[in-house]
Amino acid sequence: MGLTLRSTGRGIGREKKESLRIRQEDKLIALAGNPNVGKSTIFNSLTGMKQHTGNWPGKTVSTARGYCRSGKRGYVLADLPGTYSLMADSPEEELARDFICFGGADAVLVVCDAGCLERNMNLLLQILETGRPALLCVNLMDEAKSKGIHIDLEKLEDLLGIPVVGTVARDRRSRKKLLDALDELFDSPGERQVSCPTYPPPVEQAFENLLPLAGEIAGLSPRFVCLRLLLGEMEKQVGAELRMAAGEQRELLAGEGISRDRLHDMLVSSLVREGEGLCSQVTENGERAYGPRDRAIDRVVTGRLLGYPLMIALLALVFYLTIKGANYPSQWLSSGLFYIYDMLLELFSGFGAPAWLTGLLVEGAYKTLAWVVSVMLPPMAIFFPLFTLLEDSGYLPRIAYNLDRPFCRCSSCGRQALTMAMGFGCNAAGVVGCRIINSPRERLLAIITNSLVPCNGRFPTLIALISMFLVSGGERALLSALVLTGLILLAVALTLISTKLLAMSLLKGESSAFVLELPPYRRPELGKVIVRSVFDRTLFVLGRAAEVAAPAGALLWLLANIRLGQGNVLTALALALEPLGSLLGMDGAILLAFILGFPANEIVLPVAVMIYSASGSLTELGELTALRPLLEAEGWTAVTALCVILFSLCHWPCSTTLLTIRKETGSLKWTALSALLPTALGALLCLAASTLGRLMM
């Protein structure tokens, strides 16, 4: 899972606290809250960092840290994963609980959603019970107001006994209010009587019997320690006498028909009732019903009749806009970058550089880099903002909701749909995102099958080949978008089929239930969406491709210019792979390009073009369609292009993804299976397509 004692246990808070401290008196603040309450936006507002704030649950799977200062002191903020309870049943909830309990935080800043305060009270009351100093931030006050919800913050502050601040996270004035409240919290410690929940009489009696023996552990209140002991936790942190007494109290509760599971339910019910009671005293709902617009939209987008067609239509629209909008920028970039290429040739020639150096750096490294940038940048610069708009609007959780039933039938759960969606951006990110899945078995299913959906590095190749070989006449962009949408649906179908087969064989088990919160629909901030999608995604991915493309281009130029018999090394390798490539409907050069593209999928097509090029370097291409004559001269047909598309859709993950899988699973066996499964499926698809193509000729 990638979550270790080092990253989630007692040492993490102190270790990071020391490394981030500016002054001795700086305070470590744990930032906690349910998913979708604007917690990461609060974090960004206070620290100035650009932590991603996607509007869907499970986005944060580790802690982010930042520093901010008020007029009196400095604060180190730790942005914890979204959690509903300290009674953890998922990796992110365990991380949040362990940090709050043992991370050495000086206080906890709890962020709640003003529009549904009752739901947030469960976590808040548990945090108060730990004895940690706490500050409540009631966020999204603007959305609550628009829904006719009014909260008496002063009365809530009196009832809870902790400072309460109402905020609009994106409003800069809220930053000062929060910092002032934090200063007040530390300037006047322990002056208020903090409210703690009351439990049924048998549980309270058990507390009374244990409290005389209990004491503070790591700064946790004795009452909280007793509560965890009754639930069978924290036994290693207490002495033998208290541990034995806790066992006796559990036996007494069991004698009254209160098992451990029953005790858990009683505690949760008490917390819910306590939260409802508090909220009923401070909240007034106006005449407008809560979220009528959201519910009306959800009846359409998550309905059985229109839910799936709308998903497919939106996907096709995103691809259409991407393909339609990428044509001209790609031409402009290609012209500009290859103009620089000509200038570099003149510069190297003017300095009298040897031919091998010019070839290595300009013909190889720069030309490959220019080709990758001109082909990749325009589609990504359009696709990522569009995808981010869907994400920030709150639509992605609806996709997970719609896909929950198909994944459950495959013995998995709907959270796999979220990780699959992350895979469209980067399969390595999708693999890391699988941490949000509670069940180890279902987490493995999601990790192994994540690379069956194409990442951003494969989209330029898919778009280029579809546009050149599979569509003609009419509205090419629309037809290309429809074909690409069909391929994505094929990838989703292969993911479901592979998940089912694995669940029936190597990873048997029943699907588990999960809580999926459907956040309110929000109007994305276009400026921030563009900036974040460009800098956090487009340029990041492009930089990763460039890091691989330039040295790969230099290496390929060397291989293409080192003579071996009548040809060069690249030609010899391609000829050796020719039989296997032909069997799969391709050729040896294409198969070699996929192998050499193992560091990054982005360079597969440029490598194939370089292998075909007699000069051992890429040819200048003003637009994508200029590739077709070159490829047709090498024997490409529509069937060849289809086989390349299918193999690009399904083959081994890139090196980064495989390393991530190895780290997340800790197993070479599962890493190997993650590489072999998509490759086998891709080979079968290519074999079927090539065989059918030969029969039709």
Q: Apex CA 681: angle with CA 680 and CA 685, to 5°?
A: 120
227-273: per-residue pLDDT in tens?
888 888 877 878 888 889 889 998 998 888 888 888 888 998 899 89
Q: Which one has a higher pLDDT value, 518 or 442?
A: 442
Return the pLDDT at 388: 77
pLDDT at 497: 94
> Distance between CA 317 and CA 477 in Å, rounded?
10
Query: Does pLDDT of 481 surpass 80?
Result: yes
Query: Does the pLDDT at position 165 exceed 90?
Result: yes
How large is the average pLDDT for residues 130-140?
Answer: 92
- pLDDT of the residue at 11: 38
Least confident piece of the model among 157-171, 375-389, 407-421, 660-674: 375-389
Average pLDDT value for residue range 590-608:
84
| Bridge-based pairing state of the strands 149-151 and 283-285 | antiparallel
pLDDT averaged over the chain?
81
User: Residues 264-305: pLDDT tens digits?
Assistant: 889 988 998 999 899 989 988 754 444 677 788 888 888 888
Does pLDDT of 578 surpass 90? yes
Token digits of residue 131:
């004895």
Q: Are 61 and 436 in contact (CB under 8 A)?
A: yes
Name the strands in the sheet holding 107-113, side by side, starting at the edge strand that comes first in the sequence.
64-69, 74-79, 27-33, 107-113, 134-139, 164-166
- pLDDT computed for residue 54 by the predictor: 46
- Dihedral sign computed on CA atoms, order 677, 682, 684, 685: positive
The whole-number pLDDT of residue 379 equals 75
Type and span of the H or E element at 563: strand 563-564
CB–CB of 138/114 below 8 Å? yes
Beta bridge pairs of residue 112:
138
From 238-242, 370-374, 443-447, the region with the lowest mean pLDDT? 370-374
CA 639 from chain centre, in angstroms, equals: 35
Provide the β-strand partners of residue 283. 151
| Residue 215: band (very low, low, confident or very high) from pLDDT cuts 50, 70, 90 | confident
pLDDT given for residue 71 in this prediction: 81
Round to whole Å and give the CA distance between 24 and 18.
9
Give CA–CA dist 270/257, Å, rounded: 17
pTM across the whole model:
0.70
Give the angle subtended at the CA of 558 by the CAs of 554 and 559, to the nearest 5°.
115
Is 90 exceeded by the pLDDT of residue 547? no
Taking only the tens place, the pLDDT of each residue in 319-351 is: 888 777 776 777 787 788 888 888 998 898 888
Q: Could you tell me the CA-to-CA distances from 294 to 103, 516, 640 in Å, in that order?
A: 38, 16, 47
SS3 percent helix, strand, coil of the chain, rounded to 5, is 65, 5, 25
Average pLDDT over residues 202-230: 86
More confident residue, 239 or 21: 239
Helix, strand or coil for residue 568? strand
- SS3 per residue for 71-115: CCCEEEEEECCCCCCCCCCCHHHHHHHHHHHHCCCCEEEEEEEHH
- pLDDT at res. 19: 45
From 190-199, 387-396, 454-463, 486-495, the region with the lowest mean pLDDT: 190-199
Contact 148, 288 (CB under 8 A): yes
Among the ranges given (138-142, 360-364, 442-446, 521-525), the one the predictor scored with the smallest mean pLDDT: 521-525
Segment 585-601 shows an average pLDDT of: 88
In this prediction, residue 631 has a pLDDT band, given cuts at 50, 70 and 90, of confident
When pLDDT is averaged across residues 675-685 and rounded to a whole number, the result is: 95
Question: Average pLDDT of 544-567?
Answer: 77
Q: Would you say residue 513 has pLDDT above 70?
A: no
| Architecture in CATH of 5-187 | 3-Layer(aba) Sandwich (3.40)
DSSP-based three-state secondary structure for 567: strand
pLDDT digits (tens, 9 = 90+) for 483-508: 999 999 999 999 999 999 999 988 88
CB–CB of 473/373 below 8 Å? no
Choice among 145-149, 188-192, 194-198, 576-580 with the minimum mean pLDDT:
188-192
Nearest-10 Cα torsion for 331, 607, 350, 330? 10
The confidence score (pLDDT) of residue 289 equals: 45
Query: Is the pLDDT reported for residue 654 higher than 90?
Result: no
Q: How confident is the model at residue 624 (pLDDT cuts 50, 70, 90)?
A: low
**In this predicted structure, what is the pLDDT of residue 21?**
47
- Contacting residues for 676 by C-beta, under 8 A, at least 6 apart: 652
Flag whether pLDDT at 576 surpasses 50: yes
DSSP letter string, 468-531: III--SS-HHHHHHHHHHHHHHHHHHHHHHHHHHHHHTTT-----------PPP----HHHHHH
Work out the average pLDDT over 667-679: 95
What is the chain's alpha carbon radius of gyration, rounded to the nearest angstrom?
A: 29
Percent of the chain with pLDDT over 70: 87
Strands 64-69 and 74-79: antiparallel
3-state SS class at 217: strand
